[in-house]
Amino acid sequence: MEPTKSEVAVCKFMSEYSAERIEKIECLTWDLLSEVYGKEPVVPPIDLNRVANYLGLEIWQGSFQDERIVGAYDKTERTIYLAEDIPYVRKAFTMGHEIGHFLLHEQRPKETFYRCDMDAVEEENKLEEQEANWFSASLLMPRRVVRSLWLATKDSTEVARMCGVSSLAAHYRLANLGLLSFIEGKLLTVNEMVRRAVNICYPQRKQ
Count: domains in the chain: 1
Residue 172 lies in a domain: yes
Alpha carbons 94 and 88: distance in angstroms, whole number = 10
Residue 184 lies in a domain: yes
Residue 149 lies in a domain: yes
- What is the span of the domain harbouring residue 24? 5-201
Q: What is the CATH number of the domain that holds 168?
A: 1.10.10.2910
Q: Is the pLDDT of residue 36 over 90?
A: yes
Q: Which of 16-25, 41-50, 102-111 is predicted least confidently?
A: 102-111
Alpha carbons 31 and 28: distance in angstroms, whole number = 5
Taking only the tens place, the pLDDT of each residue in 44-58 is 999 999 999 999 999
Degrees to nearest 5, angle at CA 87 with 81 and 89: 85
Q: Is the pLDDT of residue 193 over 70?
A: no
Query: Which pLDDT band holds residue 75 (cuts at 50, 70, 90)?
Result: confident
Residue 207 lies in a domain: no
Better pLDDT: 179 or 113: 179
Assess contact for 117 and 195: CB atoms under 8 A: yes
- Residues 57-61 have a mean pLDDT of 93
Residue 206 lies in a domain: no
**What is the structure's pLDDT at 69?**
80
Alpha carbons 204 and 1: distance in angstroms, whole number = 12
Q: Which of 14-23, 55-64, 101-110, 173-182 is predicted least confidently?
A: 14-23
**What is the structure's pLDDT at 10?**
31
Assess contact for 167 and 156: CB atoms under 8 A: yes
Residue 171 lies in a domain: yes
**What is the structure's pLDDT at 195?**
54
Instruction: Of 75, 94, 99, 74, give the one whose Cα is nearest residue 83.
Output: 94
Residue 191 φ/ψ region, left for φ over 0, alpha for ψ in the -120 to 50 degree band, beta for the rest: alpha
Q: Is the pLDDT of residue 197 over 60?
A: no
Residue 107 lies in a domain: yes
Residues 6+ apart with CB under 8 A from 50: 36
Residue 42 lies in a domain: yes
* Average predicted confidence (pLDDT) for the chain: 77
Handedness of CA 127, 132, 135, 136 (dihedral sign): negative
Assess contact for 163 and 52: CB atoms under 8 A: no
Taking only the tens place, the pLDDT of each residue in 122-135 is 444 678 888 888 99
